[in-house]
Structure 1
Amino acid sequence: MRILVFANTPAHVHLYRHAADRLEDAGHDVLVLTREYACTTDLLEFFGMPFRRYGRHETTAPTKPQLARELGEQAARIVGESLRFRPDVVFGRGPYAALAGTVTRTPTVLVLDDEPGDFNHTVSRPFADCIISPAVTRRDLGDDHYTFDGFKECAYLHPDVFEPDGAVREYLGIGPDEPYALVRFNGLDALHDAGLEGFTREQRRDLLERLSERATVFVSDEGGEMTLRDLPAREYDLHPALIHDAMAEASLLVADTGTMVNEAALLGTPALRYRGTDDHEYGEFRELERVGLAEQFDEYEAIRDRSLELVADETASDRWATRRREYVGDLVNLTDLLVDVAQAGGSLERVTPSTRRALQSTSPVGGTNARSSSSD
């Protein structure tokens, strides 16, 4: 089979990388269509995934004529690459995946999460043969929408999949028992981030100065605009493919961006998210808060004080590790599910009984989140 995958962000690369490896090992052809954005292509190269670029994501807002031209050029490249590859099934999450599936007359599978913007869903949903999303997002996207018990990050952080690199402390220059914190600042340049604000410049400085009094602090600045020359913190400068290994060993993660908070929580690392001006209610964060793996804050002083409390608490890591063992191991291994759906050509009628049991239909026929019928 020929499987076409769209990976437009670093998180998308991680979502599909294990599935792509397994599909190739099984003799299938996999092609990733991507754009230049952050470290997306760096990750594709690191993991040896076959890919072609169809464009780039600019962090500065283009004029309307520029945007129209860029979208047209990207769509034309996607059409050309898709027709050349002749896929049997397409995986993605937005209008570009829908376009590829439409022009090649190929089943299209959308793997979604709880992104607040509805534009991608609205545009692509009519062209999807199957939509898969975590049950905690509480969406109902129609008769072809199925949910699973877990998170999209379970494709690469489920205990059956993730194996931490024990040498990451050596790479970071950190002692075996030395506490360290990871702080992630959002670039806020994605479509769904428009108009949002996270940590202010003054809050960033205050947080780093105070945290550094109790632990070594590494900073990952998504926007790339912050200088650390006069601050007691170090830039996180390992290859981006090692970020989950670094998270797994950290005493704490603090961020005003979403995906890394989910990731740290699923790894059993205390994870704190600052909402800033983002008032959207995400099902993923609500669930992780419920099980005690993540915490969210509306006020800067509250997240700062909780950060200082946790990084000084020598028992916090053990508590979070216990919660992870009790919760994450029972979630769906999303890589297994993606591989099975791909090998079934996107048809849920052809998946294995175990995948059929893992998927829940949101159609009114069975009731929201009722288990889909099974012939086994």
Structure 2
Amino acid sequence: MRILVFANTPAHVHLYRHAVSRLEERGHDVCVLGREYDCTTDLLEFYGLPYQPYGAHGTEPTSRLAFGRELVGQLGRIATTTRRFSPDVVFGRGPYAAFAGSLARAPTVLVLDDEPGSFNHTVSRPFADCILSPAVTRRDLGDAHYTFEGFKECAYLHPAVFDPDPAVHEYLGIDPDEPYVIVRFNALDALHDAGIEGFSSAQRLDLIERLSERATVFVSDEGDDLALTDLPARPYDLHPALIHDAMAGADLLVADTGTMVTEAGLLGTPAIRYRGTDDHVYGEFRELERVGLVEQADSYDDVRDRALDLLEDETATDRWAQRRREYVGDLVNLTDVLVDVAEARGSVDRLGPATRRTLRKRSTPS
């Protein structure tokens, strides 16, 4: 079989990397179409995935008009690769996967979550033969929509596929018992980030100053516009493929971006998300809040004060680790599902009984 996979962001690389490797081991021909965004191609190369670039997207704010122009050029390159590769099934999301699947007349599988806005869902839904999403997703995307118990991050953070590197303190250049915090600042440049404000410049500086009084602070700045020279913090500068190992060893993650907060929660690391002006209700965060793995706050003062409280609480990391053991191990290993769906050419009806039982027809929650 020939399987085409889209990796538009670093998160998509992680989502599919285990499935791509396993499909190749089973003798399938896989092509990953990658877009240079943040560290996407660095990850594709690190994991040795068979990829071809189709474009780039910067981390500076982008208008809808500029995004539209960018999209047209990228679709041209996608068309060329799709015709040459002639896939039997396509995996991805949004207009990219929808376009490739339609052009190749191949079944299209979308893995979606509870992101704000409706552009990706509206554009891709009519072309999808199978839509997979976490059961906590609040959207109902029609007859092809199936849900699973878990999160899309379970494709790479489920205990069955992820073991943290115990040497991460050494990589970071700190003592084995030295507490550390990862602070993630979002570039807020994605289409679904339009109109959203995260930490202000003053809040970023204050947060770093206060956290540094209790732990070593590593800053991951997606926009790369924060100078740390005169601040009591270090840039997070390990290879991006090690970020989950670093999060697993951290005492705390604080961020104004969603994916890394979800990941930290699934790793059993105390995580706080600053919502800022984002009033979208995410099913994933609501579920992780319910089981005590993630916290959110609208006020910067609440974020800062709660972060400081957690750093002073010597039992916090043990409590989060116990919650992870009790919750995450029972979730679906999404990599298994992706591999089986690929080999079934996107048809849920062709799946074996065991995998079929992990998927449910979508029913809108009350």
TM-score, with length taken from structure 1 = 0.95
What residue number does 2:341 align with?
Answer: 341
1:262 aligns with 2:262: yes
Give the residue type in structure 1 aligned to 2:80: G
Distance 1:298 1:245 in 2: 28
Could you list the per-position Cα deviations for residues 7-59 of structure 1 after superposition, in whole angstroms to 9, with x for gaps in the alignment? 10000000000001110111111111111110000000000001111111134
What residue number does 1:127 align with?
Answer: 127
Cα distance change of structure 1 residues 60 and 292 upon mapping to structure 2, 3 Å threshold: closer
Q: State the SS of the aligned residue for 1:137.
A: coil
What residue number does 1:46 align with?
Answer: 46
Distance 2:182 2:313 in 1: 16
1:293 aligns with 2:299: no
What residue number does 1:372 align with?
Answer: none
Q: State the SS of the aligned residue for 1:349.
A: helix
What residue number does 1:360 align with?
Answer: 360
Cα drift, residue 195 of structure 1: 1.1
Give the residue type in structure 2 aligned to 1:339: V
Give the residue type in structure 1 aligned to 2:260: M
CA contact (8 A) 1:7 1:34 kept: yes
CA contact (8 A) 2:180 2:218 kept: yes
Cα distance change of structure 1 residues 329 and 227 upon mapping to structure 2, 3 Å threshold: same
Q: Equivalent residues in 2 for 1:177-216 (5 A)?
A: 177-216=177-216
**Alignment gaps of 5+ in structure 2:** none
Identity %: 74
Give the residue type in structure 2 aligned to 1:108: T
Cα drift, residue 61 of structure 1: 5.4
Could you list the per-position Cα deviations for residues 239-266 of structure 1 after superposition, in whole angstroms to 9, with x for gaps in the alignment? 0000000000000000000000000000
What residue number does 2:223 align with?
Answer: 223
What residue number does 1:149 align with?
Answer: 149
Give the residue type in structure 1 aligned to 2:345: G
Cα distance change of structure 1 residues 84 and 199 upon mapping to structure 2, 3 Å threshold: same
Distance 2:41 2:91 in 1: 18
Q: State the SS of the aligned residue for 2:327.
A: helix
Could you list the per-position Cα deviations for residues 142-179 of structure 1 after superposition, in whole angstroms to 9, with x for gaps in the alignment? 01100000000000000001011111110001211111
What residue number does 2:173 align with?
Answer: 173
Cα drift, residue 2 of structure 1: 0.8
Q: State the SS of the aligned residue for 1:136.
A: coil
What residue number does 2:91 align with?
Answer: 91
Distance 2:179 2:62 in 1: 43
CA contact (8 A) 2:153 2:263 kept: yes
Cα distance change of structure 1 residues 19 and 191 upon mapping to structure 2, 3 Å threshold: same
What residue number does 2:111 align with?
Answer: 111
Q: State the SS of the aligned residue for 1:337.
A: helix
Distance 2:80 2:326 in 1: 47
Distance 1:37 1:216 in 2: 28
Cα drift, residue 280 of structure 1: 0.5
**Alignment gaps of 5+ in structure 1:** 370-376
Could you list the per-position Cα deviations for residues 261-287 of structure 1 after superposition, in whole angstroms to 9, with x for gaps in the alignment? 000000000000000100100000000
Q: State the SS of the aligned residue for 2:349.
A: coil
Cα drift, residue 334 of structure 1: 0.3
Distance 1:158 1:92 in 2: 20
Cα distance change of structure 1 residues 298 and 52 upon mapping to structure 2, 3 Å threshold: same
Cα drift, residue 62 of structure 1: 6.2
Distance 1:69 1:132 in 2: 29
Q: State the SS of the aligned residue for 2:184.
A: strand
Distance 2:62 2:203 in 1: 29
Distance 1:141 1:158 in 2: 26
What residue number does 2:233 align with?
Answer: 233
Distance 2:30 2:225 in 1: 36
Q: State the SS of the aligned residue for 1:305.
A: helix
Cα distance change of structure 1 residues 56 and 304 upon mapping to structure 2, 3 Å threshold: same
Q: State the SS of the aligned residue for 2:100.
A: helix
CA contact (8 A) 1:361 1:368 kept: no
Give the residue type in structure 2 aligned to 1:189: D
Distance 1:291 1:68 in 2: 40
What residue number does 1:244 align with?
Answer: 244
CA contact (8 A) 2:61 2:188 kept: no
Distance 1:241 1:3 in 2: 24
CA contact (8 A) 1:134 1:149 kept: yes
Cα drift, residue 72 of structure 1: 2.2
Q: Equivalent residues in 2 for 1:61-76 (5 A)?
A: 67-76=67-76
Distance 2:118 2:157 in 1: 27
Cα distance change of structure 1 residues 117 and 64 upon mapping to structure 2, 3 Å threshold: closer
What residue number does 2:325 align with?
Answer: 325
CA contact (8 A) 1:269 1:321 kept: yes
CA contact (8 A) 1:157 1:266 kept: yes
Distance 2:142 2:66 in 1: 35
Cα drift, residue 128 of structure 1: 0.4
Give the residue type in structure 2 aligned to 1:322: Q
Q: State the SS of the aligned residue for 1:253.
A: strand
Cα distance change of structure 1 residues 61 and 251 upon mapping to structure 2, 3 Å threshold: closer
1:10 aligns with 2:18: no
Distance 1:66 1:155 in 2: 32
Cα distance change of structure 1 residues 261 and 62 upon mapping to structure 2, 3 Å threshold: closer
